[in-house]
Structures are given as structure tokens and as C-alpha cells.
Amino acid sequence: MNADSGTAAERAAVLRERLHHHNYRYYVLDDPEVTDAEYDRMLRELQDLEAEHPELQTPDSPTQRVGAPPLEKFDTGAHLVPMLSLENAFDEAEMTEFDRRVRTRLETEAAVDYCAEPKLDGLAVSLLYEDGVFTRGLTRGDGTTGEDVTVNLRTVASLPLALRGDRPPSRLEVRGEVFMPRDGFERINADHRERGVKPFANPRNAAAGSLRQLDSRITAKRPLRLCCYSVGVIEGVALPDTQYETLECLQAWGLPVSPERRRINGLEAARACYDDLATRRAELAYEIDGVVFKVDSLAAQAELGFVARAPRWAIAWKFPAEEQITVLRTVEFQVGRTGAITPVAKLEPVTVAGARVSNATLHNMDEVARKDVHIGDTVVIRRAGDVIPEVVRVLPEKRPEGARVPEMPTTCPVCGSDVVREEGEAAHRCTGGLYCRAQRKEAIRHFASRRALDIDGLGEKIIDQLVERDLVEHVDQLFSLRHEDLVSLERLADKSARNLLDALEAAKETTLARFVYALGIREVGEATAKALAAHFGSLDALMEASEEQLCEVPDVGPVVAHSIRTFFEQPHNREVIAALRTAGVAWTEGEPAGGGPKPLAGSTYVLTGSLEEMTREAASERLQGLGAKVTGSVSKKTTAVIAGADPGSKVDKARDLGVPVLGEADLRELLDVR
């Protein structure tokens, strides 16, 4: 390294250290020492140095917060320690019972010390630091595995890319909440409204949507903040004895923690803390929906342990949702993207939890009956979870004369197809899955999916544009798209447009099983579609089958049979199917297997590798039509493995288990059996 680069390295190190220090003062201590302009000047200087000397750039540099090129999808990762949920208390009695259980299990009558913090309304994350450097971040996910959003978390300015101090832990998994402050939420929604973009419903949705962007450059522009509240794994350094002191440690390492945290003693102090935060809730710079109380002693936490998916030593005392009284003027019915029809109360407008509400969900007709809802009723409205307004209950004493019970329409309010309710389900559904405008995007997405017609390049963003620009109303119109239609879409250049047209052309040649699955008939998954194709042999035979005939197919019961029959009875669905055939979508049809001999009944085959004369899907259908079972894994019960070119590890496993391995010639002989 020459003298100039040596000087640059020293200067870059100084700038990084100063910027980390000022981030800590601003985001953790809320006590900045420099102006925004001075901070920006140092950041620009560091950016210039790293641009001139790329070798000086480090993973923890403050310049690495601008985002990266878009991802195709998020990978997943396992939490080192499961991220558990918290038990909730919704009133003082439940909080009192929690305190009683804690003291009983700890065998003490003395008041228990708790660490109290506001319950932030954001998105829970798990952060991993190795040798003091941030290396991975996951969402909560299912508590065991979460989405890897590391690249997005790196853009959150309050998240330190390197821990402070001379002796940070060699390994630290810390839990926290990513949230959007109220002022940032207002700014981003004002910008959305100005640009004609749909605003976010609330700060929590804004935070979750921002952190789950596949393009981290968008996340980098969002005003997100982080607040840490617990430790999952720590190595190289011993934690103190209490939860409160643990938070002090996290802050010393540069991690932001709640400035409202406090240590309290006993239930009365917990009530006072809850009341104080509830009173000041609207004044805070961020939204909270309750107060979290944790037994302060870590030794006591270990003694109390866990139950199911929640710790016994912590509880979230939730604030009551705000309720208001208004009048239900009428009930309308909305059709969701999967065909579910939801009754929606149209209300005399009223302000609830700070928002003007004129619509509220009634969930389904069972709830309408249970709550005895009548049009004209005076009703209590609540914003459940501070998000979705719902009708909580009616005030029957205020019911006017002539009030009537709303009735579910017999036909879809959007497309006119029959409305059905399957046995055991709460929801009513539109049966016009291929035709209904409300279900258009979902129908196209499913139709193009890998297990259906496998239309490569037809992703959700392109589907959104095709539908929103009215270029595609029904799936058959995909095959009449022109090059000029596609290149007019955002992010679809000439080559991508031609590739998509080629993919659409290739998708026309399919199998009957794939086509049946692609129709999106409710209750008909991939396995059922294969069974139907093998049993009936042709689409026409399937379309004309009675419910009794459908029930002859293995694994098809009365509910599935009724769903299939109802789907094919809708004229709109038949019109779209006819249009698909006219567009050139075709498959090879075979002999119906319903009542014929099944010489391979009782046998099980596994297909692997590439076949020359037919696809593996077609071979699978043919084998199933002859009574064989086709699976994806090899076991001692496998009759034989049929291997094409480049078969992979299944052949090795078959040989290890002594299972015969057959070639494509053997397959032809099997399929010729009558």
C-alpha cells in the first residue's frame, strides 16, 4: 500500500468510528452531538474514500445502508433459539392471575420484581452478531424458522452494523422489533397519496411491508427504527443477573432499547406503569398496543420455564381497543381473491382509534347470526388490533321497527356465478373461479404456477399489471398477448417479453392432470388432479361426470365431488375452458381407467431422470391409470425405480435397498400391459 492509500485507510477508519459513535448518540441515547449536515458531510467523505479505494470498504461501514439489487425471493434460516410468543392479558383480572401464578411457582408471597417495557406494534426480528459484526437477520416466521432479511436490516439506520465496546460477545443473537415512528409513517403516506399510490393502513403494516421488500433499496428509503428487548444466545461474555441489566448491556453494546423501560416491584406498581403508559400512549413517537412485563431475575425466569410456545415469566398486558357506537345502514358483500364472499357493514361514519370508519367486517354469515345483526341496528364498532374495524355487538334495545336480517346472495355480486357453501366451512364462495373479476389475479397466478402450466416469467408483478391494465380478463387471454402489450409493462424489456411469449407457447403443450390442476377447482390439489385424469382419461368425460361417478375416483369424497361438479356447471367456466382449447392448449388423452383392469394395482414406482419419449408427468399418469402408485421417494416398499438420463441419488438409494432399477425400455413394456 502506498502512502496515499495508507492515509486514506487511516482516514476511513477514523470516519467509520466517528459515524458509529454519532449513530449511537442519535439512535440509542437520543442525544446527538452533531448536526445532520455535519453527519452527512462525514458520510459523503467516507463514501468518496471507499469509491476511490474499494479495498477499504468493510461490512460494518456506515456506507453499506443504501440497499442492494433486488432479490428473487427471501431465503429462510433457523433461529439459534426459538422465538416464542407472549401470553396476553386483556384486563386487570388476567394480569392479577399471571402475578399469582408467578409467585405460586416461585413459592414466594413477596412482591416480584418485573422489568416493564412498552409493547411496540411492529415486526419481530432476530439479529445475529459474530465477533461483534452483524451477520444475519431473520423475521420471527413460525418461531423456529424465519425469512432471511439481512440485506434489508442493514439499511435500518438504528441497527448497529458493529457492536461497541472493547469486549463485545463473540456471538450474540438478540431479539427486537422493527417499527415505523408516527412522523415517518405520516411522511411516507403523504408521499404515497401525492404519487397516487395506496397509503399504508397503519405503522405496523408499513414497517412489515418495508422490511419484506425484495428490493432493499426501497427499504433503505423507509423511516424504520429498531428496538431490542431480549437475548437468545450469547457466547464469550456472561449476562448480568436481571432482565433490566441485560437491557443496559445491550445499550452499552450500541443496540437501541426502549427509553421507557423500567424496573418495578409487585402488582400495584405494574398497574401504575400500565396506567401511565396508557395515558401517554398517544403522546409517544411510536405506536404501542400494551405493556410487556417480564420477571426481572434471569434465575427466576429459568425456574419458571415455558409452556407450549410461551414463557411462564412474561406477559403482554394489552390496551383495550377503542370502541364506538354507530348505526349499520346496510350490508354489502365483497368477493375476495380466492372467491370467499364476506359481508361488510356499511356504517354511519364514526371515528374509532383515531381513524374515520364507515365500513366494518362481519366476517361470515355465522357471525351475523351469532351476533343477531339486523340492517338498521345500532352497533358497537371496534378496530380489532387497532387495524381492522369490526362489529363487536348490537344493541337490540335500540333496534328500529322493520329492521331485517341480511341475506347472502345466491349468485356472485361480481360475476353472477353460483354461490356455494361447502359442508363444514364458514365461508360462502363464488364458483366462477376462471371468470370472476375479483378472483382474476389469483386465477392467473395459480394457472401459471410451476405445478400447473408452468409459464416461466409470469410473476406476480407482471400479473398485477396485466390485470390492472385490462390486458387479461381471463386466463385464455394470456395466449393472445402480443409483443407490444408486454413491452409496455414496467420492467419487461424486449428480450423478456419475447421469452414470456415463448413460455406461453410452450405451455400450450401440457398434460390433462396439469390442466385440471391449473383450473383452480376448490379442493382439487395436484394429487387429486392426477387421480381424476387417470380415472376419466379425457376432459370431456370429467366435465360431464356426475357426483356419484366422481366419488368412484380414489380420495374423492362427496365434498370434493360437489365442488368439481359445481365448478363445471358454471357456464362462464366452460366458456373459458373452450377458449383455452381454441387458443391451442392441448394434451394427450388416454383410455379411462375408471372401470377397466388395473394390472399394476398394488405396485409402487419412483421416476427419476429425464425420459426421452414422454415427460415424467405423462409417465406418472399412465402408470397411475394402470393402478400403480407413483411416489417421490425410494423405500423398501418401492416396486422399482424407473431411471432416465441423469437420474441422481435415487438410483443409488434403490441399489442400497435392493430395489430393482428399470430403464425406459422397461417402462414401455409396463405401459403396454393390458
**Could you tell me which residues are beta bridge partners of residue 146?**
77
Sheet (strand 171-179) strand order = 133-139, 123-130, 171-179, 225-235
What distances in angstroms separate CA 510 from CA 139, 161, 452, 500, one per listed residue? 38, 50, 9, 17
> What cell numbers appear for 183 in the block?
412522523
Residue that is written with C-alpha cell 409396463 in the block: 670
d(CA 166, CA 612): 64
Q: List the one residue out of 389, 409, 406 whose CA is nearest residue 347.
A: 389
Considering the candidates 73, 119, 294, 637, report the single residue annotated as catalytic. 119
d(CA 542, CA 540): 5
**Could you tell me which residues are beta bridge partners of residue 118?**
291
d(CA 537, CA 550): 13
Query: Is 508 known to be catalytic?
Result: no
> What cell numbers appear for 547 in the block?
357426483
Residue 135 identity (one-letter amino acid): T
Triad 571, 413, 540: Cα angle to 5°: 15
> What cell numbers appear for 526 in the block?
395436484
- Number of helices (H), then strands (E), belonging to the chain: the values are 24, 24
Ramachandran quadrant class, 266 (left: phi over 0; alpha: psi -120 to 50; beta: rest): left
Q: What is the DSSP letter of 423?
A: T
Residues 103/109, Cβ–Cβ less than 8 Å: yes
Q: What is the DSSP letter of 111?
A: P
Phi, psi of 621 (to 5 degrees): -60, -40
Residue that is written with C-alpha cell 416461585 in the block: 106
Find the helix packing angle between 616-625 and 526-536, rounded to 10°: 60
- What are the residue numbers of the active site? 119
